[in-house]
Amino acid sequence: MAAPLLEYETEMFLSLFGCDGLLVAAEGLGIDRLLLQFMRVHSEQDSLVLLLNTSTAEQEYLTEQLRLEGVSHLPRTVTSDVQSAERYRVYTEGGVLFVTSRILVVDFLTDRIPAHLISGILVYRAHKIIESCQEAFILRLYRQKNKTGFIKAFTDKATSFSSGFCQVERVMRNLFVKKLYLWPRFQASVNTALDKHKPEVVELHVSLTPAMRAIQSSILDIMGACLKELKRYNPTLEAEDLSLENTLGNAFEKTIRHYLDPLWHQLGAKTKALVQDLKVLRVLLLYLTQYDCVTFLNLLESLRSSQKNFGTNSGWLFLDSSTSMFVNARSRVFRFTDSKKKLKVGAEEEKQKSCSEVRRELVLEKSPKWDALTEVLQEIEKENKSTNGEPGRVLICASDDRTCAQLQQYIRHGAEWLLNRLYARTIAKTDSSAASAMELHTHKKSKGLTRKGTKGKEPAQKKSTKSKGRPSLTLTQMMGKEETEEAAVMGSSSGDEEDLTAEEEEEEMKLDLSSDAYYGVLKEPLTVIHPLKGCTDPHSLTRVLHEVGPTFVVLYDAELSFVRQLEIYKASRPGKTLRVYFLIYGGSTEEQKYLTALSKEKKAFEHLIREKATMVVPEEREGREDTNLDLARNLEPANATTNTRKAGGQDQAKEPSRVIVDMREFRSELPSLLHRRGMDIDPVTLEVGDYILTPDTCVERKSVSDLIGSLQSGRLYTQCVSMTRYYRKPVLLIEFDPAKPFSLTARSDFRHELSSNDISSKLTLLTLHFPRLRILWCPSPHATAELFMELKQGRPEPDAAAAQAVTAESDTVAESADLYNPGPYDLLLKMPGINSKNYRAIIKNADCLADVAKLSQAKLAEILGNTSNAKLLYEFLHNTADVPAPAPKSKQTFKSFKQAS
């Protein structure tokens, strides 16, 4: 059961409860607790509240929390599984509802949802509510039909408002709220509440080894050189955003994409290579501090070999810093020694021969954080022994699954076992001299060295096991989706690593935890390792924190939101002790990254505070009256002229224009823009086309990516066949992303010879094949909406029932019927020897299928221009198939052949 709200959380709740607004809190300050409080208040039959922008995992977490608190009227989820007839009943039963955006838009447009009964809407992740998104459309429809309900929005991404012109004001305009509530970490109420019961924090600044420091310096030098080159090739780029400090942050790739995406087709190969190099170097920096020496070297070696294999040598591989990086990376794993010294190790003659060839000696440098972790665990063990009460539980938090798995193996077996295992499974597999060095190292250990025990707690060797409900732990689980893709591009070594626990048979540790992402280490006292990122359930760490109730938390990796979560956890349990061990590499990019994240959030809040002070909010912003122009539809442009010859220029009553839209199209922003221009939207399920503008005009909308895919798969051909059969004016609309270039082909590609596989070639063939098909090119959805308005002027309105009734069995339009009858046409195309290239020749030389059956094989060869195709068709029509029929058949169309059943 969730702890009661803290003082500042109560203040946040009351301020937002009293007046609609947008609440921006610092990351980790618990807006999910605040949202839960609002849901608790409205979970009753008398109110109907819609919750937007939540994922399935978040919906399950929020529902589970309310169930634990004994709420009887729990939230329900409305998805496509709920039939349209049942949805009205669900809406009228009240309570909090999770509804998918597409369904909510359709229900508002068809009046299936009783808008006047809605008490209000709660918006999660409000920073994503831009004008073109579905949620903004929902809020506009809601405010047009309901003037009294509330709108309350929450977000903890202050940095999202720091870029762009008046970004927070635009979001508030889309949300129809006037108030902005800011709750940074340095706010007085937050400081007072959290400083009353601070957790005991032990900061351990771990020093990088000399080799790690040298590698880090080399990578930063190379990144600096790449950035310098990037700015030289692209002088228009903002120098501030492309600083070395910003390159370390998570948002760097988003920033670089923001600048370069619109120009990507105009950029040279050198610029594109530099952007890719920066991605690679960022992953190298991460691997250096996150993983062990063997994993880092393996990645580095595989990167260099992949560059050689594909012949795409990047410039940075030839820099002096790159050579230094390779040398230092190898020195962490092995060193070269004289062969004479190695001869002294082996006594046998055979061993001497093998040793004389080996010039490597394994070093296998331990990660400095491992020793620090060992000291921390030993200190915790001593403290637990000295206390008389129940021993304190331990929660170790690392960045991702891969790190967690390594830490579990380290605590259980020790550093030497782990590194030897990794070395044997990666580098020793691909290099014969490395394998020999491994043999020598094993021989040394067996001769004179006893295997060292576990570096941490002694009982951990026996009791640590795989966690409940998850597959055997591997080291191949990557940092997260984005980094995984980058590593895959570089030829990462992780694919070669195998499961570390697959061969071990141990008793399973049954821990009664709701999360399945943890790694069990010890039962008494309970010790659990859990990843900070990469979990399918975003609240899994929160669940474990409250279920384990740790006395000691070891932060192996720094993560801003979880640090604040620990502060709230301690403040809500003032009587219980909590000690947090903070492990961080002093003077490293890891530390700099954490400090940069703190600094960026602080600057973002300072920017919001200044913007709030100067913000001008119109009185009608909330849309509770009819004066808000954002709710007006069919707005005339400012330069529109008035015809004074008609009733002296008086406003003429206009019938609302109507567009029939396929249900699947509500994932795009075009229906929202059409509605804003005053058109009525009829959402129905269409078999042919996406938009029906008039009884004769059918539009198939394609984004550029969808166009390429459907041209390659042949789906577009089938769609064009259907449109030309049943509509007089079939239209193919190609809609571009406004942030991308308005061009299918880059200018640099024009000098190359066009092939039949080019998009432009396929579109040309499509227009030749369907002469009545019209192609519209639109640079953005706004341009499409304007074009639709012009296409509908002076034309009759479409009928939704008629459009929905158009199927494969419908009658064809006169234009198509004059050319061919679709039934025999389809049958002809399915005959052997007939294809899309030669069927027209047959149609020109035969009026019906009976005429085709009368043609000789020689005549067919002359028409088709291919003797093998003519033979296939002639034999199909004239050969007798001896297939016993189960029942007497009716008379065949062609007397000369019997159709196989």
pLDDT-derived band at 812, boundaries 50, 70, 90: low
Amino acid at 398: A
Check residue 701 and give its pLDDT.
92
pLDDT of 634 > 60? The answer is yes
The tens digit of pLDDT for each residue in 36-62 reads 999 999 988 888 999 998 989 899 999
pLDDT-derived band at 900, boundaries 50, 70, 90: very low
pLDDT-derived band at 341, boundaries 50, 70, 90: very low
Q: Who wins on pLDDT, 768 or 153?
A: 153
The tens digit of pLDDT for each residue in 357-385 reads 446 778 888 889 999 999 999 999 888 88
Check residue 817 and give its pLDDT.
52
pLDDT of 660 > 90? The answer is yes
How far is Cα 684 from Cα 53, in angstroms, rounded to an integer?
24
Mean pLDDT of 221-227: 87
pLDDT-derived band at 217, boundaries 50, 70, 90: very high
**How many other C-beta atoms are found inside a 10 Å radius of the C-beta of residue 859?**
13
Q: How many CA atoms lie within 13 A of 699 on its CB side?
A: 27
Locate all alpha helices (DSSP H) within 521-588, ordered by sequence: 540-548, 560-571
In the block, residue with structure tokens 């296939």: 872
Check residue 456 and give its pLDDT.
37
The tens digit of pLDDT for each residue in 252-306 reads 777 777 777 766 666 677 777 888 888 888 888 888 988 888 888 888 888 877 7
Cis amide bond preceding 781, omega within 30 = no
Percent of the chain with pLDDT over 70: 76
The tens digit of pLDDT for each residue in 691-732 reads 999 999 999 999 888 888 888 888 888 889 889 888 989 999
Contacts for 559 with CB less than 8 Å, ≥ 6 apart: 397, 399, 532, 533
What the block records as the tokens of 112 is 């299936």
Q: Whose CA is closest to 797, among 656, 643, 590?
A: 656
Check residue 857 and give its pLDDT.
86
Check residue 755 and give its pLDDT.
64
pLDDT of 753 > 80? The answer is no
pLDDT-derived band at 811, boundaries 50, 70, 90: low
pLDDT of 73 > 80? The answer is yes
**Structural element, H or E, at residue 95:** strand 95-99
pLDDT of 314 > 80? The answer is no
**609-616: Cβ within 8 A, 24+ apart:** 609/182, 611/166, 611/168, 611/169, 612/168, 612/180, 612/182, 615/168, 615/169, 615/180
Check residue 643 and give its pLDDT.
56
pLDDT of 491 > 50? The answer is no
Q: Are 454 and 461 within 8 A, CB to CB? A: yes
Check residue 425 and give its pLDDT.
82
pLDDT of 25 > 50? The answer is yes
pLDDT-derived band at 498, boundaries 50, 70, 90: very low
Which range is least confidently modeled, 73-77, 357-361, 468-472?
A: 468-472
**Structural element, H or E, at residue 123:** strand 120-123
E-state strands within 208-332: none
The tens digit of pLDDT for each residue in 413-454 reads 888 888 888 888 887 766 655 666 666 566 555 554 433 333
Check residue 901 and give its pLDDT.
38
Evaluate the CA torsion angle 850, 854, 857, 863 in order and state its sign. negative
Q: Whose CA is closest to 781, among 16, 134, 266?
A: 134
Check residue 648 and give its pLDDT.
54
Check residue 165 and give its pLDDT.
75
SS (H, E, C) 45-87: CCCEEEEECCCHHHHHHHHHHHHHCCCCCCCEEECCCCCHHHH
- Cα torsion for 777, 782, 786, 788, to the nearest 10°? 60
How far is Cα 456 from Cα 98, in angstroms, rounded to an integer?
47
Q: Are 747 and 263 within 8 A, CB to CB? A: no
In the block, residue with structure tokens 């062609």: 894
Collapse the DSSP code of 288 into the 3-class scheme (helix H, G, I; strand E, B; otherwise coil) and give the result.
helix
How far is Cα 619 from Cα 185, in angstroms, rounded to an integer?
30
Q: Which residues of 278-309 are buried (b: 16+ CB within 10 A; e: fewer)?
A: bbbbbbbbbbbbbbbbbbbbbbbbbbbeebee
Contacts for 792 with CB less than 8 Å, ≥ 6 apart: 657, 659, 679, 693, 694
Check residue 828 and give its pLDDT.
79
How far is Cα 724 from Cα 730, in angstroms, rounded to an integer?
6
Check residue 438 and give its pLDDT.
60
> Which range among 451-455, 606-610, 677-681 has the greatest average pLDDT?
606-610
Percent of the chain with pLDDT over 90: 19
Mean pLDDT of 571-595: 88
The tens digit of pLDDT for each residue in 830-864 reads 888 888 677 778 888 887 888 888 888 888 888 88
**Mean per-residue pLDDT of the chain:** 78
Q: What is the DSSP letter of 681?
A: E
